[in-house]
Amino acid sequence: MSTRKRGPPPPSEPPPPAKIPSTSQARNRSPRPVYFHINKIQVGEWSQDSSLIEGLKARIYGGADRRLVWELDHIEVGIRKIEIVLDNVCSMQFSFGSNNSTGVMEIELEKPPQFFLETSSDGNKKVDDQPIDDFTKNTSASLYRHHKLFFGNDVLTKIRKTIVGFKRPEWDNVLNRPFPSKPELQFQKDEEHNQGEDDADAAANVDLNAAVQDGV
């Protein structure tokens, strides 16, 4: 009988290395937004410039929570927000100024956005968004489809690269649509409401003219 000692068993094969997601994949799964400083916002009759009193910031969520948020951080009022879900965006375009001047990001909406005021509780540990009414001049953001945001050219370039880098068909569809996709500058329901008022005024004028002709 052989007394030769057996050596240790061969080591088992190591598990395959974990697959490291690409930067775009990690960004798509991240709930954290990407922030960009806004120089100016313009919607219909309302415009707001960034200042020491009220800073402007854009939040872009590229993962499952696909939305755009314009933040207005006033030193007295607090942080007010205009929030747009991506499904509500008809089209989007970028216009770059010459000689490193201001560039413009334009958004066309299907329906009015939502408005929030950021509030905090529990010693500023918990932050909530409280729904508020449209705070833009003459409720412009509830009437007009187009949002124009002004950035430095370098910032606008980063924004476009960020959105393209999401590699999501939902974002690609928005970027590939013609801008504007619709001729109307205002939301349809408001136009129908205004048209109804015009029709009522026209009918009233007809009745008044008939009454005058009848000598009433």
Same domain, 209 and 148: no
Q: Which structural domain range is residue 87 located in?
A: 27-184
Same domain, 121 and 60: yes
Residue 125 lies in a domain: yes
| 119 against 142, higher pLDDT | 142
- CATH number of the structural domain spanning residue 153: 2.30.29
Same domain, 97 and 122: yes
Q: At residue 211, does pLDDT exceed 50?
A: no
In contact, 116 and 80? CB cutoff 8 Å: yes
Both structure tokens of 135: 């705070």
Same domain, 109 and 170: yes
What CA–CA distances, in Å, run from 124 to 6, 54, 118, 121? 66, 20, 11, 5
- Supply the pTM of this predicted model: 0.72
In contact, 59 and 69? CB cutoff 8 Å: yes
pLDDT band at residue 27 under the 50/70/90 scheme: very low
Strands 34-37 and 78-85: unpaired
- In terms of Cβ atoms closer than 10 Å to its own Cβ (0-12, 13-18, 19+), residue 201 is exposed
Residue 48 has a pLDDT of 97
Same domain, 41 and 132: yes
Q: 6-10, 112-116, 168-172, 190-194 — which is least confidently predicted?
A: 190-194
pLDDT band at residue 23 under the 50/70/90 scheme: very low
Q: At residue 30, does pLDDT exceed 50?
A: no
* 122-170 pLDDT per residue, tens: 666 678 899 999 999 999 999 999 999 999 999 999 999 999 999 899 9
| 21 against 182, higher pLDDT | 182
Same domain, 142 and 54: yes
Site of tokens 């200042």: 51
| 16 against 119, higher pLDDT | 119
Residue 19 lies in a domain: no
- Name the residue among 46, 42, 37 with its Cα closest to residue 152: 37
Residue 18 lies in a domain: no
Residue 141 lies in a domain: yes
Same domain, 149 and 44: yes
Residue 121 has a pLDDT of 66
Residue 171 has a pLDDT of 93
Per DSSP, the three-state class of 102 is strand
Residue 75 lies in a domain: yes
Residue 114 lies in a domain: yes
Residue 168 lies in a domain: yes
Same domain, 210 and 114: no
Number of domains in the chain: 2
Residue 41 lies in a domain: yes
pLDDT band at residue 208 under the 50/70/90 scheme: very low
Same domain, 112 and 156: yes
Same domain, 213 and 202: yes
Same domain, 158 and 205: no
Same domain, 109 and 200: no
